A and B are shown apart, each in its own frame.
Chain A
Amino acid sequence: MAARWATRCLRSQHARFISTAPASQLSRAEIVQMRNELFTKEKERQLSLYPRIEKIEVKYVGKSHPGTSFVMNKALSTPYNCAMHLSEWHCKKSVLALVDGELWDMYRPLTKSCEIQFLTFKDENPEEVNKAYWRSCAMIMACVLKQAFKDEYSVSLIRAPEVPVISGAFCYDVVLDSRLDDWKPTEDNFRSLTKEAYNLIHKDLPFETLHVDAKVALEMFQHNRYKMDSIEQKASQNPEGIVKLHRFGDFVDISEGLHIPRTSFCFQYEVTAAHNLQTSQSESIRRFQGVSLPVHLKAHHTVWRRLLERSRRLVIEEGSLEAKDGSLEAKTVST
């Protein structure tokens, strides 16, 4: 009974938006639109800081074409453009760029003359690449969760905990509407969430990145207090008070670090489990988990099935979660 009622709450992507909004709150579509507009405006403003095209020299320090140097445009050219000058292989395989020893998104514009190197999934040390991939998959899942429920049921995204890849799953913490407290997601629900994720993957959306002031970020996320808390935390950690945002398609989110260039880098993707995290506060946090593999590292279906089974177990962030909320227990939800 409860399950059937709950499945009616999940709507497909083609259903109409119902703007039954109380006076103080905007509907979900309007919030999304507002965020996108602010993002685009900020992006255009940052682009307009360089009205004339200035040239920078970028030296390639990788193994494949030693000693090449590119003449690129300042604040317009991205590491992806440099890879385009090298070969299609470089474009398809590089996930992150190492600019003057600093990790850089593939689609983030270069600001000065520097040395560049590309990182792939099969390097000697692909730790950063793996972390970026895990973060991107968590962000895709967050987007899916945001769009999955009907407008009347509020979904507040909290954050994506930084879990190591070896734990077997990436996760995202959300707070669902209080009416959905007793809802246990079934296999069919997870399958429909996975299908939504594949829709996003096949659309091949690029991950755009933007470094903004905390003020602009707070304005964007004014409807979500968890995001506002994390923006303030990040701004205090950063000396210039800058917060990093990422966007793909319509979905904007604060990021802990770098992301992969496009959603089409994911090949196998599955949302596998949802666990209830019991905190001392009244609201119940749900941790949705999933597992994914990139196009470059496909797994046979027998192996994939075992990885799926393992990802259904709760993953815990190392140490910091226990320290933050003193009494934190996790109750597993049977699927």
Chain B
Amino acid sequence: MRLSVAAAISHGRVHRRLGLGPRSRLDMLRNLVTGLVRHERIETHWARADEMRVYAERLIDYAKRGDADEAAMRMADFWLTEKDLIHKLFKVLAPRFQAHSGNYTRLLQIPNRENLDRAKMAVIEYKGNPFPPLIVLHRDNEKTLLNQLLKGYREDILKTRATQAPEGAAASLHTGTAV
């Protein structure tokens, strides 16, 4: 059997290879997770952010168990290199996401880096962070022609409903007294 060719072809293999090896990959992701927990919004390579997303969300799931849980504390201790962030994780981030069951992060692609490498960059953030939102939806001004026509239409509908409702109430009152 010729194993070497099969090893060289990478069709369908989904696991990314970052850094210098598996240990280096985990260290790199650990640094990124620490940065994310500290700053709640970071800019990095898209592949690293995508890889880190899974770990960041799993960490929140562990943190939701509470700091009394031994496994949760060991995880937080491993993944957060700056130990003051363990407190932040259990006391700030876990309560924030108590109501949600998943999808604690948002990953958005941004323009490629200006360097020679033109690397594909992304910004990853924990939802509910205190910064201004990344995507701002602009609605058309109220005073445009179409919006003014629609406003007039809406006001008409409300007016007809308002005139019909007291009539309906009066009619039901009359029937009530008749019975």
Using a CB–CB distance below 8 Å, which chain A residues touch chain B? 121-127, 129-130, 133, 165-168, 291, 293-294, 297, 299, 303, 306-307, 310
Contacts and interface: CB of A to CB of B under 8 A. Distances in A.
A267 to B, nearest CB: 11
A115 B160 CA distance: 48
B141 A297 contact: no
B153 A126 contact: no
Contacts of B140: 122
B145 interface: yes
B167 interface: no
Interface in B108-153: 140-141, 143-146, 148-153
A237 B91 CA distance: 74
A130 B150 CA distance: 14
Contact of A168 (B141, B143, B144, B152): B152
A306 B153 contact: yes
Interface in B63-97: none
A167 B153 contact: no
Contact of B141 (A122, A291, A299, A306): A122
B148 A297 contact: no
Interface residues of B, number: 13
5 contacts: A126-B141, A168-B153, A291-B149, A293-B149, A310-B153
A122 B142 CA distance: 10
Given A122-B141, A126-B141, A299 B146 contact: yes
A301 to B, nearest CB: 14
B149 A307 contact: yes
B156 A310 contact: yes
A125 to B, nearest CB: 6
Contacts of B150: 303, 307
Contacts of B141: 122-124, 126
A168 B146 CA distance: 10
A165 B148 contact: yes
A123 B143 CA distance: 9
Contact of A130 (B148, B152, B153): B148
A138 to B, nearest CB: 14
Contacts of A310: 149, 152-153, 156
A187 to B, nearest CB: 22
Nearest to B153: A310
Given A122-B141, A126-B141, A129-B145, 12 more contacts: A122-B140, A124-B141, A125-B143, A130-B143, A130-B148, A133-B145, A165-B148, A166-B149, A166-B151, A166-B152, A168-B156, A291-B149
Contacts of B143: 124-127, 130
Nearest to A309: B153
A214 to B, nearest CB: 33
A295 to B, nearest CB: 11
Nearest to B152: A166
Given A124-B141, A126-B141, A297 B153 contact: no
